[in-house]
Amino acid sequence: MKIRWVALMMIFAAIFSAPGCGKKGSGTEGAQGNQQAVSGQAAGVEGQTSVPQEPEFAPITEEKILCGFEKGDDGFEIPGWAEEKADNASKSLSLSKSFASEGTQSLCLYAEFPGKIWTGAVVELEQYLDLTPWRQISCDLYVPKEAPLGLKAKIILTVGEDWTWTEMIGSVPLVPGEWVTVKASIEPGTLMWKRTEVTDEFRKDIRKIDLRIESNKKPEYSGPIYIDNIKVGR
């Protein structure tokens, strides 16, 4: 009996000395604590392996149109260097009243994407621009509803005395039959440009604006692409 009594006292002592004993709470607190710990560990791993995201900047509340194509092509052209390339898809450039995202007309780029290889259709404005007061550049693009899915577009800037070619990291899918706005932050700290740190010096010395529509082996498409409403915002 004495041995049983001693054993029983040891069991009680072990129970009351265990971590968490004597603390009131629901039966789910332990599970929630474990879930939070696991979530924290997962977040730590994700933070180490995930691609950096675009910093959260203030909303754009003011915009200015750089090129609306209401009175002409505003200086845009198919550049000669692009026409010399084997992967060039740009064929002709004109003004059109068929579609416009603002006003009554837009710039119409006729392109031929043969498929099977990467090709790009480029239009370019060579003009010195000081965009220091602005935080975003954007343009509107439209392909007819009969066009296939798969075309993408991006903005490219040529910057500084070295005429540095600077592309957006990603391309934006175009949606047949709908206007699509391609936007790119030019605010210091943005992560939207390849191998480029955006500074006030970057924004102050823009030499060219290029728009490139791409077909990466597919789709095959021959037809118009409408460009309108190139603007900056802050």
- Digit-coded pLDDT (tens) for 136-149: 999 999 999 999 99
CB count within 10 Å of CB 91 equals 13
Q: Report residue 55's pLDDT band, with 50, 70 and 90 as the boundaries.
A: low
Q: Report residue 20's pLDDT band, with 50, 70 and 90 as the boundaries.
A: very low
Residue 22: the pLDDT is: 35
| pTM more than 0.85 | no
Considering Cα of 36, then 38, then 39, then 45, what sign does the dihedral take?
A: positive
Spell out the SS3 assignment of the chain.
CHHHHHHHHHHHHHHHCCCCCCCCCCCCHHHHHHHHHHHHHHHHHHHHHCCCCCCCCCCCCCEEEEECCCCCCCCEECCHHHHCCCCECEEEEEEECCCCCCCCCEEEEEEEECCCCEEEEEEEEEEEECCCCCCEEEEEEECCCCCCCCCEEEEEEEECCCCEEEEECCCEECCCCCEEEEEEECCCCCCCECCCCCCHHHHHCEEEEEEEEEEECECCEEEEEEEEEEEEEC
CB count within 10 Å of CB 180 equals 18
Mean pLDDT score of the chain:
83
Nearest to 92 by CA among 109, 68, 115: 109
Q: Which range (22-36, 64-78, 104-118) has the least confidence?
A: 22-36
Residue 193: the pLDDT is: 96
Q: Report residue 221's pLDDT band, with 50, 70 and 90 as the boundaries.
A: very high
pLDDT tens for 66-103 read 999 999 999 999 999 999 999 999 999 999 999 999 99
Q: Report residue 58's pLDDT band, with 50, 70 and 90 as the boundaries.
A: confident
Phi, psi of 157 (to 5 degrees): -115, 140
Q: Report residue 227's pLDDT band, with 50, 70 and 90 as the boundaries.
A: very high
Instruction: Tell me what percent of the residues of the chain surpass a pLDDT of 70.
Output: 76
Q: Looking at the predicted structure, is the pLDDT value of residue 31 above 80? A: no
Q: Looking at the predicted structure, is the pLDDT value of residue 213 above 70? A: yes
CATH topology of domain 63-233: Jelly Rolls (2.60.120)
Q: Report residue 57's pLDDT band, with 50, 70 and 90 as the boundaries.
A: confident
